Structure 1
Amino acid sequence: MHRIDDEQRRVRLGRRHRLAPSTRASSVPAVADAVVALHSTDAATLYLSVCARLAEPGVGPVERALYEDVSLVRLLSLRNTLFTVSSEVAPSVDAANARAVAAKERRTFLKHLKEDGKGLDERWLAETERQAFAALAEQVQATGSQLSAAVPALRTKITVFPGTRQETVQGVASRVIRLMAADGLIRRDRPRGSWTSSQFRWTVTEPWPTSTTAEAQAEVARRWLLSYGPGTEADLKWWTGWGLRETRTALAAVGAEAVLLDDGASGWVAPGDLAPEPAVEPWAALLPALDPSAMGWADRGFHLPAGHRATLFDRAGNIGPTVWWNGRIVGGWAQRADGELVWRLLSDVGQDASPLIEAEAARLRAWVGDTRITPRFRTPLERELTA
């Protein structure tokens, strides 16, 4: 069996994820496609991940891609989490993941409506969605509060988990809007605040072209292999949130080729992707919490020393801001309240790394400007650095 060692995996990461300076992208969609999907639960993460890989970083290009060209779109998809993908990849991710997520979200909400006991049912939900869509089409752009003001049904409150310790009263507006977005009827538009805000306005949109789930999953698997391969079956299963059968079917459909990894496990690459990747120049990167390069595999042993996990991850398994050197995670960074960028190295990287890490910090400071960034998922090291 052909072998791809850990060093070659790190070379691939630096080149294919556009992290080495000579490989940086000239457009925002090219960045998204290089990593397939950008984690977007934290609004700032999207911008930080893109700009780390752009030849000319800045908030403006990302905002144009999201809200003017709509060449980037947010989808509730992989692992039932909000991701941003290019408009070229969106139909595949929609059919491969988002449709199933939307169906599950709807079943869960209808169950809550039934348990509430007010007689709210599928017919009520359909009519509420129709009214909300009509109001949004008329307003062109609106926040959830503005839609609720226009549609009385959105101001309804229900009791969820009645009779249990988790019993609570919730408004339905956010749940209904989330369902409409999951179904591709509406999309997130410009936020009310700055680019770090998650208080989005909403606008109507067109559903994505349909394809079969199997075809779409094969396409997503192919793209993942090209960006993250070699990776194991468990890596792809975890990254997508698919079941084992779906994962194996997708790998077989794309014709993935088996390779041997340094730890003795069997990995997979895209068909014909066995040749050694050309080396890149030495590189450093300051990547945000939940960046794709840190979250692309279930087993991160080839780029993350086991001893670093306790300080770089929160208790839920979310990785914080990281410092990279030549394909390895070697430390973490944070931004203090006064705007100062600080970092701590957890690995001995030698003298050659220091000037390149300093240069990346200066590059980040230049485009972030006066904005202050606090990760939504805070880790022990990030908290220490900002204390």
Structure 2
Amino acid sequence: MRHVSDEERRARLGVRHAIAPGARVGSPEEAARGVGVLHATEPATVYLSCWARVESVGVGDVDRALYEERGLVKQLAMRRTLFVFPRDLLPAVWPSASARVAGAERARMAKDVVRAGVAEDGDAWLDRARAEVLAVLADAPGGRTALEIREAVPMIGVKVAGGPGETWSAPRVLTHLGATADIVRGVNTGRWNSSRPRWTLTRHWLGDVPPPLGAAEGYRELVRRWLRAFGPGTESDLVWWLGSTKAAVRTALADLAAVPVSLDGGGTGWLLPDDLAEAPDPGPWVALLPVLDPTVMGWQGRDFHLGPHRDQIFDSRGNAGTTAWVDGRVVGCWLQDAAGVVSVLLLEPVSATARRALDDEAARLTSWLGGRVESGYVAPAAKAARQSL
């Protein structure tokens, strides 16, 4: 059995994910394909993930890919997380990861509606609410904001108690319609680092909507893309990333004829059969990645790049803050001061050359951002540093 060391995994990461400077790509679409999907829970992450990977990119370039060319599309999927997908991957995710999320959402919402006394039949209520929203959007090719939809469909304006401390209303119905691929988040009416979309029928947004694959085919394609970007990874990594089952992952690995390899620490990882060659050394490199970047969030087992810094980078719910990288390892995080100046907070010693390179990246990012960008996900190390100022 071939062995893939942690060092080789880090080399693969730098090259495949286009974050080693010599591996950077030329467009947001290429950046997304390099990591399969981009995290979009925070709107700014999409832009900053592209900034880290594209040789020269501006906000307008990412906007164009999302809202004009529409080669990148926002879609709720794995682990009930919002991602930006390359358009050609949508037929795979719709019947698999998104359908799984949609099913769980429907069951939860229907139960909440009955418990709250809104309707005796929760499924019937949701079906009617969905149908009314779709009817309103049918006559609006340019889409409508959540507020406009709520005003046009009063029944979804109710407040429904969900889990402990949770109350949901109209946006939850729109979220479900997005998970089922009936509607998409269209043009953003806010700034690039905010999310105020015009919800739009999928057929209006995409034109010719490609037919979805079968569920097994969809999972197979998602696993194939993940292995191409993140392999070698373990079965547990895939189950976590997909938010799926061991059975679905094992079926996909078998269908792909994935090859087992041994990893440092004794685990078993998987590679595509045409991806067994040793990865080229990308040379020395540094990178600054945003909160919830797909590279940071790509594996469940992250020790090979995260080392001892998990508790200083990830919050208690498993969300990653900003990260600073040297040669495929997380060595710290980055933060902004009140004036928007980016600085690097190291969690371990690095060479003087790497420190200068990180400072150069911080200056480049400061210039690109042109001011502060607030985040709901702050690395514990960064939070402690702010509190000490």
Are positions 1:380 and 2:377 aligned together? Answer: no
Structure 2 runs not aligned, ≥5 long: 204-208
The CA deviation at 1:355 is 2.4
Alpha-carbon separation, structure 2, partners of 1:365 and 1:252: 46
The CA deviation at 1:156 is 2.8
Alpha-carbon separation, structure 1, partners of 2:168 and 2:148: 14
> Contact 2:43–2:193 (CA<8 Å) still a contact in 1?
yes
The CA deviation at 1:159 is 4.3
> Contact 2:17–2:34 (CA<8 Å) still a contact in 1?
yes
1:22-61 residue pairs with structure 2 within 5 A?
22-61=22-61
The CA deviation at 1:134 is 2.4
> Contact 1:25–1:31 (CA<8 Å) still a contact in 2?
yes
Alpha-carbon separation, structure 2, partners of 1:190 and 1:368: 21
> Contact 1:38–1:85 (CA<8 Å) still a contact in 2?
yes
SS of residue matched to 1:89 = helix
Pairs aligned (count): 380
Match of 1:185 in 2: 182
- For residue 232 of structure 2, the aligned residue among 225, 230, 239 is 230
The CA deviation at 1:337 is 2.3
Q: Name the aligned partner's letter for residue 193 of structure 2.
A: T
SS of residue matched to 2:55 = coil
CA RMSD of superposed structures (Å): 1.8
Alpha-carbon separation, structure 2, partners of 1:171 and 1:243: 28
1:202-221 residue pairs with structure 2 within 5 A?
202-206=199-203, 208-221=210-223
Are positions 1:198 and 2:200 aligned together? Answer: no
| 1:309–1:158 CA distance, 2 compared to 1 (3 A) | closer
The CA deviation at 1:188 is 0.9
Alpha-carbon separation, structure 1, partners of 2:62 and 2:264: 38
Alpha-carbon separation, structure 2, partners of 1:45 and 1:211: 29
Q: What TM-score results when the alignment is normalised by the length of structure 1?
A: 0.93
SS of residue matched to 1:134 = helix
Alpha-carbon separation, structure 1, partners of 2:237 and 2:195: 29
Alpha-carbon separation, structure 1, partners of 2:168 and 2:329: 45
Alpha-carbon separation, structure 1, partners of 2:58 and 2:165: 44
| 1:247–1:342 CA distance, 2 compared to 1 (3 A) | same
Match of 2:242 in 1: 240
Q: What TM-score results when the alignment is normalised by the length of structure 2?
A: 0.93
Alpha-carbon separation, structure 1, partners of 2:134 and 2:306: 46
Match of 1:304 in 2: 306
Kindly provide the CA deviation profile for residues 66-85 of structure 1, in whole angstroms up to 9, marking residues without a partner as x.
11111111111111211111
Alpha-carbon separation, structure 2, partners of 1:120 and 1:379: 44
> Contact 1:11–1:280 (CA<8 Å) still a contact in 2?
yes
SS of residue matched to 1:303 = helix
Match of 1:335 in 2: 336
Deviates more, 1:119-128 or 1:62-71: 119-128
Alpha-carbon separation, structure 1, partners of 2:116 and 2:41: 29
Q: Name the aligned partner's letter for residue 13 of structure 1.
A: L
Match of 2:252 in 1: 250
Match of 2:147 in 1: 145
Match of 2:206 in 1: none
1:64-75 residue pairs with structure 2 within 5 A?
64-75=64-75
